[in-house]
Amino acid sequence: MKNKLKEYREAVGLTQEQLGELVGVSRQAINSIETEKYEPSIWLAYDISRVFHCSIEEVFLFEQSERKSRAELSRRAI
């Protein structure tokens, strides 16, 4: 999933480790989200967006994702 996490994090001067501590995950998890190797749970995405005082949709760009959603993959199986 595309995201602007790195931009938001750097704009407020947080390291990956500091953001991870704020939302209860490792620095590696934040790095994986930023590099689009890992999609956060809805709850983690919510916690991250709260740190930046914005909506989930401002940080995570669902419509621009090239990866197929589980729902979309399920519909094709029918």
CATH number of 2-77: 1.10.260.40
Show the 3-state SS of 9-33: HHHCCCCHHHHHHHHCCCHHHHHHH
pLDDT of 72 strictly over 90: no
pLDDT in tens, 40-71: 999 999 999 999 999 999 999 986 445 555 66
pLDDT at 49: 98
Domain spans in the chain, listed from the N-terminal domain onward: 2-77
pLDDT in tens, 12-49: 999 999 999 999 999 999 999 999 999 999 999 999 99
The residue among 1 and 69 whose pLDDT is bigger is: 1
pLDDT at 62: 80
